[in-house]
């Protein structure tokens, strides 16, 4: 089976490519490298000993996408291609709506023209909004998002669901990721954010490797056990495995199905810093700062549905996540840049 990874050179896409290739699938990647490097796909090939067909193109470019579908018989698409920086989305909402929604519409149009009926979509816990209480369940209504990025995910979920109502052959799997961290255990691929990291784990890793002075912990007065926010961190290889199982599910079913992918265990910011220090025997300088706008005190997943229907379960613990992050960062202090 041939799987098209839209945005496949990125953090989650590259790890999913490894999982798919290891499981015997053929992989085609399309990416415009707006937040990634071609080197990531080269490393995927090196790691797996398999070839990846790669297209440097914008997923919004319909003619380019038509050519990719004409040259490859695609059985299923995984749509990772999105802009994802929450703060930036507040500054540049139109760019976020344009990129994220247009990529989805273009993929759906070209899939319909080409007779490809299966798509797995990178959604996010953010669609649960500000009012739902943790643990989040797929049966909960989507909520009010606190930023344009979150709204793009919520809107794209609606677009994909509407498409399955109209097209009875279409199969959509919405994967709501919680907080992906970690790296492939080889340390050859990992998260390589451009500029100042927005997310906690890459920030910690860059402090540990000496690229940044210290971590600022955003708030220690939340109503949580230690006052810092709690999240459901999930190893990126567990997430990648979830995509392999979602593809298997998508090709055998029709309509829309939603799955949370999280471990169900919340950890605080201080838990993460302490676990990183302990697992890697390295000091992480930090200070407490003010709260970051839009942060919720805590949320985590109920992933029973993914367990029951997909047979998926997260296998890596927090120590694995911290060790594998550091293995990648210490071997690649500047990320994919030589
Ligand atoms: P990433 O930025 O590393 O990967 C996204 C990839 O898509 C990048 O390689 C980028 O160059 C590419 N891309 C973006 N727009 C494109 C376009 N128009 N045409 C072609 N390529 C394009 O991000 P990631 O962390 O791997 O996330 C993958 C997906 O998962 C995103 O949709 C993101 O919103 C979603 N998600 C991520 C997280 C997270 O914390 N990392 C959590 C929930 C959901
Ligand atoms: C985690 C915790 C911060 C950086 C975001 C998106 C979400 C999803 C995953 C895409 C929070 C704290 C962080 C720092 C800190 N992405 N923190 N200092 O905000 O839970 O989720 O990424 O869909 O939609 O919102 O993840 O890694 O940014 O933050 O103290 O320098 O770490 O306040 O409590 P978040 P994060």
Pocket lining: 114 vs ligand 2, CB cutoff 6 Å: no
User: Which two structure tokens, joined as six digits, stand for 53?
Assistant: 């067909």
- Residue 144 CA to residue 141 CA, distance in Å, equals 10
pLDDT at 123: 98
Please provide the size of the chain in residues.
Answer: 338
Over residues 13-39, the mean pLDDT reads 98
Residue 251, H or E segment: helix 236-252
Over residues 213-231, the mean pLDDT reads 98
Pocket lining: 198 vs ligand 2, CB cutoff 6 Å: yes
Q: Which of 10-14, 93-97, 196-200, 334-338 has the lowest mean pLDDT?
A: 334-338
**Residue positions annotated with a catalytic role:** 149
Q: Considering every ligand atom shown, identify the ligand nearest to the alpha carbon of residue 90 and give its number.
A: 2
Residue 27, H or E segment: strand 26-31
pLDDT at 226: 98
- Counting Cα atoms < 13 Å in the Cβ hemisphere of 275 gives 18
Q: What is the radius of gyration, based on Cα positions, of the chain?
A: 19
Over residues 226-254, the mean pLDDT reads 98
Name the pLDDT band for 49 (thresholds 50, 70, 90).
Answer: very high
Within 8 A by CB and 6+ apart from 205, the residues are 191, 325, 326, 328, 329
Query: Which pLDDT tens digit goes with each residue over 128-169?
Result: 999 999 999 999 999 999 999 999 999 999 999 999 999 999
pLDDT at 66: 98
Over residues 3-24, the mean pLDDT reads 99
pLDDT at 202: 98
CA 204 to chain centre: 19
Is 338's pLDDT higher than 90? no
pLDDT above 90 coverage of the chain, percent: 99
117: number of Cβ within 10 Å: 20
The alpha carbon of 152 and the centre of ligand 1 are apart by a number of angstroms equal to: 13
pLDDT above 70 coverage of the chain, percent: 100
Within 8 A by CB and 6+ apart from 217, the residues are 228, 269, 270, 273, 286, 287, 288, 289
- Which one of 207, 229, 267 would you pick to mutate in the ligand 2 pocket, going by the greatest count of ligand atoms within 8 A of its CB? 229
User: What ligand 2 atom has the least distance to the C-alpha of 299?
Assistant: 20
149-175 burial, b at 16+ Cβ within 10 Å, e below that, comes to bbbbbbbbbeebeebbeebeebbbbbb
Give the mean pLDDT of the chain: 98
pTM value > 0.85: yes
Over residues 260-279, the mean pLDDT reads 98
Over residues 64-88, the mean pLDDT reads 98
- Residue 127 CA to residue 129 CA, distance in Å, equals 5
pLDDT at 182: 98
Closest CA to 173 of 334, 335, 56, 312: 312
Over residues 283-294, the mean pLDDT reads 97
The alpha carbon of 225 and the centre of ligand 1 are apart by a number of angstroms equal to: 32
């Amino acid at each position: 089976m041939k799987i098209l990874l839209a945005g496949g050179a990125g953090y989650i896409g590259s790890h999913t490519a490894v999982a798919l290739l290891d499981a015997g699938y053929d992989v085609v990647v399309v990416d415009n490298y707006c937040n990634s490097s071609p080197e990531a796909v080269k490393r995927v090939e090196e790691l797996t000993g398999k070839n990846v067909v790669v297209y440097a193109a914008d997923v919004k470019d319909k003619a380019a996408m038509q050519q990719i579908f004409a040259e490859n018989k695609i059985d299923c698409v995984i749509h990772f291609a999105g802009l994802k920086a929450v703060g930036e989305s507040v500054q540049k909402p139109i760019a976020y709506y344009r990129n994220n929604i247009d990529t989805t519409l273009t993929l759906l149009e070209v899939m319909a023209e080409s007779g490809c009926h299966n798509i797995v979509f990178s959604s996010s816990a953010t669609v649960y909004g500000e009012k739902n209480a943790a643990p989040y369940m797929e049966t909960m209504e989507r909520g009010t998002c606190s930023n344009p990025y979150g709204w793009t995910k919520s809107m794209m979920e609606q677009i994909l669901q509407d498409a399955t109502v109209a097209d009875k052959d279409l199969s959509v799997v919405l994967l709501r990721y919680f907080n992906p961290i970690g790296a492939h255990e080889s340390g050859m691929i990992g998260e390589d954010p451009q500029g100042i990291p927005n997310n906690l784990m890459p920030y910690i890793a860059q402090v540990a490797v000496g690229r940044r002075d210290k971590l600022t912990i955003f708030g220690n007065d939340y109503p949580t056990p230690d006052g810092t926010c709690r999240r459901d961190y999930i190893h990126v290889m567990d997430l990648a495995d979830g995509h392999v199982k979602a593809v298997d599910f998508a090709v055998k079913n029709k309509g829309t199905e939603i799955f949370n992918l999280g471990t169900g265990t919340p950890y605080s910011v201080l838990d993460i810093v302490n676990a990183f220090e302990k697992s890697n025997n390295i000091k992480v300088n930090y200070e407490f700062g003010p709260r970051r706008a839009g942060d919720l005190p805590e949320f985590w997943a109920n992933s029973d549905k993914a367990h029951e229907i997909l047979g998926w379960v997260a296998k890596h613990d927090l120590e694995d996540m911290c060790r594998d992050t550091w293995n990648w960062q210490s071997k690649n202090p500047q990320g994919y840049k030589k």
